[in-house]
């Protein structure tokens, strides 16, 4: 099922807020994140993931952590980092998106806010998945 996010740009700013999600193919069966009868878990994907390794600084309150993205989509990002993040934690982060990925002549700095939805230890490194709830492009 393809899900499309609807967003609005706040007047007088370059800030975008996701307002709702809408299924564009209601005739297809819906996927669930609930465990299947075989005990395997199906995941719902809202957007295409791009395998990008981009440096990022995550902030929450007064805490600041450095991380490296593993993949980025319109609705979220997977970070590799040295410290565990608590699920549900609200975070802010900035990514310098390559112009080659965006189809622009220059790289674009994007400031994001999101929430940690998953964090696990893998090969001596934590992998934390976060939503991208809001984003805005930095003035250049």
Closest C-alpha to 109, from 63, 56, 72, 67: 56
CA distance 97 to 125: 23
Cβ partners under 8 Å of residue 64, min gap 6: 57, 58
What is the average pLDDT value for the chain, to the nearest integer?
77
The model's pLDDT over 94-105, given as tens digits with 9 standing for 90+, comes to: 999 888 888 889
pTM: 0.67
Number of H helices, E strands in the chain: 1, 9
CATH number of 3-137: 2.40.10.220
**Number of neighbours of residue 70 by Cβ within 10 angstroms:** 19
- Segment 39-47 mean pLDDT: 56
Cα-Cα-Cα-Cα dihedral sign, residues 54, 86, 3, 36:
positive
Q: Where are the domains of the chain?
A: 3-137
């Amino acid at each position: 099922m393809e899900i499309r996010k609807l967003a609005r740009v706040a007047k007088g700013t370059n800030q975008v807020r996701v307002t709702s999600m809408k299924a564009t193919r209601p005739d297809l069966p819906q996927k669930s994140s609930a465990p299947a009868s075989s005990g395997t878990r199906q995941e719902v994907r809202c957007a295409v993931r791009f395998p990008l390794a981009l440096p990022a600084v995550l902030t929450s309150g007064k805490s600041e952590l450095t991380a490296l993205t593993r993949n980025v989509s319109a609705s979220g990002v997977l970070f590799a980092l040295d410290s565990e993040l608590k699920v549900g934690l609200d975070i802010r982060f900035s990514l310098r998106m390559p112009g080659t990925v965006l189809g622009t002549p220059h790289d674009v700095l994007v400031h994001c806010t999101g929430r940690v939805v998953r964090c696990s230890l893998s090969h001596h490194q934590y992998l934390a998945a976060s939503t991208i709830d809001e984003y805005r492009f930095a003035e250049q």
